[in-house]
Amino acid sequence: MKAMVVDDERDVELLFRQYFRKEIQQKIIEFMFAFSGEEALELLHAMKQPPNVMLILSDINMPGMNGLELLQMVKKEFPLIRVSMITAYSNQYYERAMECGAENYYTKPLDFRALKREILKECNDEEN
């Protein structure tokens, strides 16, 4: 399964690569990283259509396009891609995110165990 992580903090890539090292090695999951909403959309547009990205995990607070704007654009253009939000703003944007079609809402610091459970569950859903 291919997933895209969108966050303006570049350290996030390293965290995902560490916490999902085994799953990446075993090719259970493949990650792409974008560092802005704009870059995420560019990457999606550059892929064979429709993109084979199953899941986008996006930060909300980013310079330029924020994560909620990205969520809405993705839902409009690529309705099959699931989008979950990652934010340091506890529940401030929860309802808005859900209204816009977000799948899940994770708060920072990330609980990678819970996140991994969710993502692996989605991998299984895809196989079944």
Contact residues for Mg ion (CB under 5 A)?
Answer: 8, 59, 61-62
Q: Which of 1/41 has CB closer to Mg ion?
A: 41
Question: Shortest gap between Cβ of 61 and Mg ion (angstroms)?
Answer: 4
DSSP 79: T
Question: Shortest gap between Cβ of 60 and Mg ion (angstroms)?
Answer: 7
Question: Shortest gap between Cβ of 49 and Mg ion (angstroms)?
Answer: 28
The encoded tokens of residue 27 equal: 């090719």
Q: Which of 89/111 has CB closer to Mg ion?
A: 89
Question: Shortest gap between Cβ of 77 and Mg ion (angstroms)?
Answer: 22
Q: Which of 36/122 has CB closer to Mg ion?
A: 36
Rounded CA-CA distance 119/38 in Å is 24
Rounded CA-CA distance 112/114 in Å is 5
Edge-first strand order for the sheet with 82-87 is 30-34, 2-6, 53-59, 82-87, 105-107
Q: Are 22 and 119 in contact (CB under 8 A)?
A: no
Q: Which of 8/30 has CB closer to Mg ion?
A: 8
The encoded tokens of residue 123 equal: 């991998």
Rounded to whole angstroms, the maximal C-alpha distance in the chain is: 38
